[in-house]
A and B are shown apart, each in its own frame.
Chain A
Amino acid sequence: MSAFLLEAQGLVQQYDTMKGLFGRTSSVRAVDGIDLRVRHGEILGIVGESGSGKSTLGRMLLGLERPHEGKVLWEGQPLPAPRTAAWRQLRAQMQLIFQDPLAALDRRMTIADQIGEPLAIHGLATSAEASIRVAELMARVGLRPDQAGRYPHELSGGQRQRVVIARALASNPRFIVCDEPVSALDVSIQAQVVNLLRDLQEQSDLTMVFISHDLKVVRNICDRVAVMYLGRIVEEGPSDEIFADPRHPYTQALVSSIPKAATGLSNRVILQGEPPNPAARPSGCAFHPRCRIADRACSIEVPVLEKHDGRLAACLKQRATGAQAA
């Protein structure tokens, strides 16, 4: 058995877009060469701004999208091609939780039916067993038994997300990708769902990839974090290290952009400019037009993710300081 549950090697995803109705097609690289390893039983956070390729990466890890280049290994074996029998079998072990629970649920099915649906699809239980299993799952995510016959619109946002989580757990998965699972929830409810995910992970030794733009939530729940910028990982490491001492200038700006009660607006790194368009990727380091410490070399050479002082970062400046220290 491989030491890693899931391993991504050189993942690239590109989408073709057309300029105008009859224009030339140009391709946009949403994910541009990602190597990532997910260990058994860890929660790996993926943070980045919109358009950084977080969700595309998540979908490729699950095998819902076929990568343009590179491959994903599940326990050392390549993922089977989509829509084959082997791929369907693997579905039961890998699940996805989305941001908007109302969109992820069927409005015309009771929640008990929806939670039980994966059991029927994967042939995991007879109908008698299924109702017991559904009751168990509902209890596990903190839904009351009397809510079984309700429809999604009769539940609150937090309860709907619990339904989505219960449904994802129905097939006893080993790996779950959570794509912004708490972003649509209110603060007090968000904490309930974050705690629930933490508990579930501990109880059943789940492996999770937690995609979010909310750094505070990511820091709380994740063991390890990968920071993405324009389709590449710019920094990766244990979440305590990343948030206490970010190395990449982009991570530094992200971490300092979180308004804190004590410090007000002072001492913050305010990035200039907008996240760049993946269709017009800057040369060299994609972050250099917004970077405070970039120089000419940064606009030419593409930095690779490598270790400097025991920390993984993709920054030419890190290499320079690392060399001086050595």
Chain B
Amino acid sequence: MSFVSIQGLTVAFDGTQVLHGIDLDIDRGEALGLVGESGCGKSVTWLAALGLLPGKAQVGGSVKIDGQELIGAPRQQAEQVRGKRIAMIFQDPSSSLNPVHRVGRQITESLTLHRGLKGQAAKAEAIRLMDLVGIPSAATRINLYPHEFSGGQCQRVMIAMALAGEPDLLIADEPTTALDATIQAQILDLLATIRAETGMAMVLISHDLGAVSAVCDRAAVMYAGRVVEMNDTATLFSAPRHPYTRGLFDAIPQIDGDRTRLIPIQGTVPDPKALPVGCAFSPRCRSASARCAIQSPELTTGRAGGLLACFHPVVRTVAPVATKELVLA
């Protein structure tokens, strides 16, 4: 049995359905990437699973952690899981930290809540965590306020707080998007190292396909509230099958090879209030047929493994991009 199992998860805000039945399984220690454009529901999936959506959201389906149901579970039970077994970090670290409390206090709060540590023991553990996430001279900087840290260091503090409950699963929601390029590299490296050391599972929500491919074992591509393709990263990235996945790859400029014109996906992401009939991607799809405008394809196991929701999958595989080894002086 998988560690976390999401079955038919649906979310609606004011009668507008934004998630149309998400099925995801995450094994212990696995790293799953969730890819998609803004509004596709990649963050909402996990906010719904952890009961973090506002009250007006109607959540349906099932989210089980080790067989224990989370949807509709009493608040106390949800709090046993939230932060303790599943922790989450967000895109903007500075707005997730409390600006008027010292970072040490914010980390120890989490330690007291989830592990019952108090006083000197909690402080020592907070320093250890800050060391672990690579904040220099942690013992003195524990008494600083969030504004005294840079953006990258705030994200490290967030990661330290998330690790305080010794979670089995870390949800990282666009953890590097707000950071500079060289700091992004540091944080991705840190997440990969921590996962290797602690053996926790990780879900990386990102629109940066490169980051997902570098860190994750498996990736799911979402579009308009549905998973449209899922496979192990190597296969997904070398031979995307869904036209949307393929379109995303084509739309991203390459860092090597020719500086050719980009191939954008025409049109825009549909409004959840007015989703097209049939396949939600069909109005933007080059290979759409009459059938796509009537019937919505189910997510099924493809011939070459992986899951795919498309009537006309991409046949041609991507020519392997020649990756030049960077010669460093």
Q: Which residues of A contact B (CB under 8 A)?
A: 49-50, 156, 158-159, 186-192, 194-195, 198, 213, 215-217, 219-220, 239-240, 243-245, 247, 249, 252-265, 267-271, 274-275, 293, 317, 321
Complex alpha-carbon distance, A206 and B192, angstroms: 44
Binds A, one of B77-85, B253-261, B301-309: B253-261
Tell me if B183 and A259 are in contact (CB < 8 A).
no
Q: Enumerate 14 A-B pairs (CB-CB under 8 Å) in ascending A order.
A: A49-B180, A49-B183, A158-B268, A187-B251, A191-B264, A192-B266, A195-B261, A243-B256, A259-B214, A261-B210, A264-B213, A265-B189, A270-B185, A270-B189
Tell me if A252 and B268 are in contact (CB < 8 A).
no
Tell me if B256 and A262 are in contact (CB < 8 A).
no
Complex alpha-carbon distance, A213 and B265, angstroms: 23
The 5 A-B residue pairs with the shortest CB-CB distance in the complex, in nearest-first order: A191-B264, A259-B210, A220-B253, A188-B265, A257-B185
B150 surroundings in chain A (CB, below 8 A): 274-275
Tell me if A259 and B211 are in contact (CB < 8 A).
yes
Tell me if A188 and B210 are in contact (CB < 8 A).
no
Chain B nearest CB, measured from A39 CB (Å): 18
Tell me if B208 and A259 are in contact (CB < 8 A).
yes
Residue-by-residue, is B106-134 near A (CB-CB < 8 Å gives 1, otherwise 0)? 00000000000000000000000000000
A216 surroundings in chain B (CB, below 8 A): 252-255
B320 surroundings in chain A (CB, below 8 A): 262
Chain A nearest CB, measured from B98 CB (Å): 22
B266 surroundings in chain A (CB, below 8 A): 192
Binds A, one of B13-21, B49-57, B61-69, B321-329: B321-329
Chain B nearest CB, measured from A282 CB (Å): 15
A293 surroundings in chain B (CB, below 8 A): 329
Size category of the B interface is 35 or more
Given A187-B251, A220-B253, A274-B153, also A195-B262 (CB < 8 A): yes
Complex alpha-carbon distance, A194 and B254, angstroms: 13
Contact of A275 among B182, B263, B264, B268 (CB under 8 A): B182
- A216-B253, A275-B182 known; 16 other A-B pairs, CB under 8 Å? A187-B248, A194-B262, A195-B262, A219-B254, A240-B259, A255-B326, A257-B185, A258-B181, A260-B213, A261-B321, A262-B320, A265-B192, A270-B182, A271-B182, A274-B152, A275-B180
A50 surroundings in chain B (CB, below 8 A): 151, 180
Q: Which residues of B contact A (CB under 8 A)?
A: 37-38, 150-153, 180-186, 188-189, 192, 207-211, 213-215, 233, 237-238, 247-248, 250-256, 259, 261-266, 268-269, 320-321, 323-329
Of chain B, the residue at the smallest CB distance from A274 is B150
Chain B nearest CB, measured from A151 CB (Å): 16
B252 surroundings in chain A (CB, below 8 A): 187, 191, 216
Q: Which of B186, B192, B253, B269 has the most CB of A within 10 A?
A: B253
Complex alpha-carbon distance, A215 and B208, angstroms: 13
Tell me if B256 and A244 are in contact (CB < 8 A).
yes
Contact of B255 among A191, A260, A275 (CB under 8 A): A260
B189 surroundings in chain A (CB, below 8 A): 265, 268, 270
